[in-house]
Amino acid sequence: MGYGRARVWTMLAALAGGWVVPAHARGLQAAPRLVLRSASALVLDQLTGEVLVQKQTDTALPIASITKLMTAMVLLDASLDLREPITILEEDKDNLRHSRSRLPVGTTLTRGEALLLALMSSENRAAHALGRTYPAGLAAFVAAMNAKAAALGLAMTRFEDPAGLSGGNVSTARDLARIVDQAFRYPLIRTCTTQEAATVQGRRYPIPFHNTNHLLLSPRWRIGLSKTGYIDESGPCLVMQAELNDRPVVIVLLDANGRDSRFGDANRIRKWMEGEDVPVRTSRVARLRRGRNGG
């Protein structure tokens, strides 16, 4: 039995540790080799839904702070007053992973400021406070997150907390592409996730915050939505909406092999989409063959 062209490209991609799309799918004369260091990856044309890159897209993995996109959508769906002040309490501290925070207990900020810090700077205390101050409380907020996931048809997605600190917050690259596309429909989420820096007034002095995605500083990127994530179980993660080669795309990168590899993978995808040469190092390919299986 013979193999079709797509099947041949699939086999070659598997050997390389990534996924290669045939040249005719992108209008190029030759299909450059694309090797990614993320265990799971997906690139979609946002307008047509065409799959441009895929790698283990249906493997459910912890998603860390990518969770905060769903937190933001549920919060905005509730139409709560973003000008209302909320105070960071002792219970907003991360007692699971003991992650650091620039928001001391007792800091008062508006709900809108908390949303900005949760999305831009991945502030865990801010995200937890948003869930805690939901009208029916934190448990109801998490239930609303899961209800929205179900309404969107995300069968492989579930949430246990609004900040993404729990390893039980899981999804697939395919489900996350849907979340990114939905979140992109909220202008405030687009603005918050792509703002480079902000300062909020603390109890004693102003506190500066910066975006966790340094690709926003690059003139080579046109990013419409961005969110990073990292816990031990998830590895480094990155999701974005961006315009590449005059084409709006959704990029999902999960469990990258190395803390900065998610950004390296994003740049490799950009160069690949724009027809630039994407260098492949033998040692990089070898590391991809270690059989992480998305774990």
User: Which residue among 38, 40, 55, 65 is the active-site one?
Assistant: 65
Q: Among this protein's residues, is 68 annotated catalytic?
A: yes
Q: Answer whether 262's CB lies under 8 Å from 228's CB.
A: yes
CA pseudo-torsion sign 168, 73, 146, 109:
positive
Q: What CA–CA distances, in Å, run from 285 to 15, 73, 259?
A: 9, 38, 17
Which one from 122, 166, 171, 234 is the annotated catalytic residue?
Answer: 122
Alpha helices (H) in the chain, listed in sequence order: 5-16, 68-77, 111-120, 124-132, 138-151, 173-183, 187-194, 261-273, 282-288
122 is catalytic: yes
Is residue 38 among the annotated active site residues? no
Nearest to 114 by CA among 192, 166, 185, 180: 192
- Cα distances from 293 to residues 13, 187, 201, 219, in angstroms, run 15, 36, 44, 35
Q: Per the residue annotation, which of 38, 40, 55, 68 is the catalytic one? A: 68
Q: Which residues are catalytic?
A: 65, 68, 122
